[in-house]
């Protein structure tokens, strides 16, 4: 058998990097495995205003860069590999990657989740330049601008109400003729003079030059297509997409307890498998933010240390 680590962390987003820092600082033999690039979702965030004690003009990449250096400084090792199978039962956990096999006494799953995209032309191009998936992160950038929210469930309507505190007007674009959100949330939205609705509609295309300036919307019942253009003075508008998240959890299906694709943990980040923890957006939780992901990672690492010590 190859080297056995104290803790292996799958994923190098804020949860994984925080876990790496705490585990390394506790002198645990720590390995972080990341399949693509450090930072997870946060690297697409152009500015971070709500991370406690964040520096001025903080960006996703700058915060991640400091987190990476911190984890490195505490001795956490890192490899870039894609894990394709996991054996989590027993005292030694076995992770199979495309590049090799990894063994550990404990595992922290921090693979994250990503917002479901609309899937229309221009969406990727204007992400961070008019298109956002996080109201808490980006609302203040659209103060006194027109804002459009795509979706009709609880999160879409709740976020629309939050965005109404900032925007000139918020229009919810929904593919059906009624919302799916809880009645109490719907009532608040209907009562808010700044919230409008565009029923039976889908976004077909997002356009612009460097930043988002127009959007093509189609009525699914009549087939009518129209283009919404940014106010001349504003030059842009916000499109916030809330049509759900996709957790990166396929690898763990049937191996740990899940709910709607999210891993279920207790307050100590423990899964139903001894020595296996989950942290960040991958786990079932009420708030998905950098600060809560980092907190999850810290807790998971401390609990992993306690588990090893017995």
Helices (H), the chain: 14-25, 60-73, 135-138, 154-163, 183-191, 290-309
CATH class in words for 4-115+245-309: alpha beta
Taking the C-alpha atoms of residue 194 and residue 167, their distance in angstroms, rounded to an integer, is 8
Per the annotation, the verdict on 120 as an active-site residue is no
Give start-end residues of each CATH 3.50.50.60 domain in the chain.
4-115+245-309, 131-241
Which of 136 and 204 is assigned the larger pLDDT? 204
Exposed / middle / buried, residue 117 (Cβ in 10 Å: 0-12, 13-18, 19+): middle
Kindly provide the b/e burial profile for residues 83-116, where b requires at least 16 CB atoms within 10 angstroms of the residue's own CB. beebebeeeebbbebeeeebbbbbbbbbbbbebe
Residue of 6, 29, 38, 138 with catalytic role: 138
Per the annotation, the verdict on 137 as an active-site residue is yes
Which of 217 and 245 is assigned the larger pLDDT? 217
In this structure, are residues 277 and 271 in contact, taking their beta carbons and an 8 Å threshold? yes
Taking the C-alpha atoms of residue 273 and residue 90, their distance in angstroms, rounded to an integer, is 9
* Alpha-carbon separation of residue 41 from 7, 56, 135 (angstroms): 23, 20, 14
Average pLDDT over residues 104-115: 96
Residue with tokens 């991370």: 51
Residue of 29, 134, 281, 296 with catalytic role: 134
- pLDDT confidence of 70, banded at 50, 70, 90? very high
Per the annotation, the verdict on 138 as an active-site residue is yes
- pLDDT confidence of 1, banded at 50, 70, 90? low
Query: What is 131-241's CATH topology?
Result: FAD/NAD(P)-binding domain (3.50.50)
pLDDT more than 70, % of the chain: 99
Which of 288 and 117 is assigned the larger pLDDT? 117
* pTM exceeding 0.85: no
* Alpha-carbon separation of residue 251 from 87, 237, 282 (angstroms): 10, 38, 12
Residues in the chain: 310
- For 141-194, write each residue's pLDDT tens digit: 999 999 999 999 988 999 999 999 999 999 999 999 999 998 999 999 999 999
In this structure, are residues 77 and 28 in contact, taking their beta carbons and an 8 Å threshold? no
Non-local CB neighbours of 15 within 8 Å, separated by 6+ positions: 110, 112, 279, 280, 281, 282, 293, 294, 296, 297, 300
Residue of 137, 146, 281, 296 with catalytic role: 137
């Amino acid at each position: 058998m190859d080297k056995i680590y104290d803790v292996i962390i799958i994923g190098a987003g804020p949860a994984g990097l925080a876990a790496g820092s705490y585990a390394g600082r506790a002198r645990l033999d720590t390995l972080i495995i990341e399949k693509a690039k450090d930072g997870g979702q946060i690297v697409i965030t152009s500015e971070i205003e709500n991370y406690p004690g964040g520096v001025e003009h903080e960006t996703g990449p700058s915060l991640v860069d400091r987190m990476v250096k911190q984890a490195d400084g505490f001795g956490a090792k890192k490899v870039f590999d894609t894990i394709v199978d996991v054996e989590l039962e027993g005292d030694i956990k076995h992770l199979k990657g495309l590049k090799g096999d990894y063994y550990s006494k404990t595992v922290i799953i921090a693979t994250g989740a990503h917002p479901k995209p609309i899937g229309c032309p221009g969406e990727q191009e204007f992400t961070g330049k008019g298109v956002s998936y996080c109201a808490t992160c980006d609302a203040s950038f659209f103060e006194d601008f027109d804002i459009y929210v795509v979706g009709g469930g609880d999160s879409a309507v709740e976020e629309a109400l939050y965005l109404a505190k900032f925007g000139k007007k918020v229009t919810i674009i929904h593919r059906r003729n009624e919302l799916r959100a809880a009645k109490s949330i719907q009532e608040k939205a209907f009562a808010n003079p700044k919230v409008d609705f565009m029923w039976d509609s889908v976004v077909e295309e997002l356009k612009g030059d460097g930043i988002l300036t127009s959007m093509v919307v189609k009525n699914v019942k009549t087939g009518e297509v129209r283009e919404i253009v940014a106010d001349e003075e504003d030059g842009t508008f916000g499109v916030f997409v809330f049509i759900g998240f996709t957790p990166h959890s396929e690898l763990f299906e049937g191996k740990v307890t899940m709910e709607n694709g999210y891993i279920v943990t207790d307050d100590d980040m423990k899964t139903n498998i001894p020595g296996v923890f989950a942290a960040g957006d991958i786990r079932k939780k009420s708030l998905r933010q950098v600060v809560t992901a980092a907190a999850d990672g810290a807790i998971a690492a401390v609990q992993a240390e306690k588990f090893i010590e017995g």
